[in-house]
Amino acid sequence: GAVVSQHPSWVICKSGTSVKIECRSLDFQATTMFWYRQFPKQSLMLMATSNEGSKATYEQGVEKDKFLINHASLTLSTLTVTSAHPEDSSFYICSARDRSSYREQYFGPGTRLTVT
Amino acid sequence: DAKTTQPTSMDCAEGRAANLPCNHSTISGNEYVYWYRQIHSQGPQYIIHGLKNNKTNEMASLIITEDRKSSTLILPHATLRDTAVYYCIVRVDAGNQFYFGTGTSLTVIP
What number is the average pLDDT over the span A95-99?
A: 85
* Chain A residues close to B36, C-beta within 8 Å: 107
Would you list the DSSP string of A90-107?
EEEEEEEEESSSTT-EEE
Average pLDDT, chain B: 92
Please state the φ and ψ torsions of residue B109, each to the nearest 5 degrees. Answer: -100, 135
- Note the pLDDT of residue B101: 86
H or E element at residue B62: strand B61-64
Across the strands, what pairs with B19?
B74
pLDDT band of residue A1 (cuts 50, 70, 90) is low
- C-alpha distances (whole Å) from B3 to each of A40, A51, B36, B69, B91 are 23, 26, 15, 11, 10
What number is the average pLDDT over the span B6-18?
A: 97
- Note the pLDDT of residue B20: 98
- C-alpha distances (whole Å) from B38 to each of A25, A51, A86, B87, B104 are 19, 25, 25, 8, 10
- Note the pLDDT of residue A2: 77
pLDDT top residue among B40 and A103 = B40
Q: Does B94 touch chain A (CB under 8 A)?
A: yes
Rounded to 5°, angle at Cα B7 from A103 and A58: 45
Please state the φ and ψ torsions of residue B54, each to the nearest 5 degrees. Answer: -65, 150
Question: Percentage of residues in chain A with pLDDT exceeding 70?
Answer: 97
**Cβ A43–B94 below 8 Å, yes or no?**
no
**Cβ A97–B95 below 8 Å, yes or no?**
yes
pLDDT in tens, B18-53: 999 999 999 988 888 999 999 988 999 989 999 998
B92 pLDDT higher than 80: no
- Note the pLDDT of residue A54: 86
